[in-house]
Structure formats: C-alpha cells, structure tokens
Amino acid sequence: MPRTDLDRAPYSEVRPSMPRLLVVDDELLLLEALEVALVGQVEVLATVDPHEALARIDTGERFDAILLDVKMPEMDGLELYERIAAISPAQARRIVFMTAATIASRPRSENAILRKPVDLSRIDEVLWPPERCGRSRTQSS
C-alpha cells in the first residue's frame, strides 16, 4: 500500500495532543523511570520488544520522538533504525539513540545520542531541540 508521509510535521501538530514518545529498551527500570519522569508532559509508549515497535510504525503509528537503545538482545537498535527508515524515513529522523558505549558508525549523522545512564534533567533538550522539531515541545499544548 502506498504511504503518505504525514509525519513530516510533528505528530502533535497533525493530531493536537501531548507529544508522543516511543521508547524501545530492554531495561525495564529505564522504561519505568522515563514514564514517571515524563508523566503529564508526554504520551510515553514504552516497550522492551523491538518487533512491537516496528509493528507500530508499520501500521501507521507516528511519534514526535523515538528513544532507541543501541544494544538489545533480539534486534539491535541500528538494525531497528534501518528497518524503521525503510518504512518511514521521517520517523527514522526522529530517533535518538541511547547507549553506554561509543557508536563507531552511526547510520545517520543527524540522529542524536543520549548517553547512558540517562540524565533525566537533559531529556527535554535531547528530545525536543528546535533544530529537530522546528518548535519547542510546549508549543504543541
């Protein structure tokens, strides 16, 4: 089926609501910490399963940002990035990689990297910088 790339604009501009954040990481504690830290500010959809995340994108769900762990057991973050990019290049541009290691070769230089352990005080500046979103997160409310 042909796809229209409505996600050129942030999802919250297409459907006014809280910004949507997809988090894919095999560390449950990190997922829970992000959900608690961002409650009321962002709609957080968190999963330990990269296949579930890919299925969400493939069925048309769109996110303002995607936090993606680089090292995961079944499918690593770089493979998931490539598979998301094949479905929706605009969604792939919204990915922020999370890692404790240095990424030797990133798939796209414009994707930000959030170092682990995640500094929750920096999460806004990493997820919603004006150059990535074209606006601040608070403008979507």
pLDDT, one tens digit per residue, over 81-93 is 999 999 999 999 9
Q: Which amino acid is at 60?
A: G
User: What φ, ψ does residue 34 adopt, rounded to 5°?
Assistant: -65, -45
Its pTM stands at 0.76
**Who's near 27: CB < 8 A, 6+ residues apart?**
48, 69
Share of the chain above pLDDT 70, in %: 74
State residue 45's pLDDT score.
93
For the structural domain made of 12-126, what CATH number should be given? 3.40.50.2300
Distance between CA atoms of 13 and 19, rounded to whole angstroms? 9
Strand 112-115 versus strand 65-69 pairing type: unpaired
Residue extents of the structural domains in the chain: 12-126
The 10s digit of each residue's pLDDT in 50-73 is 999 999 999 999 999 999 999 999
Q: Which regions of the chain are under pLDDT 70? A: 1-16, 102-109, 129-141
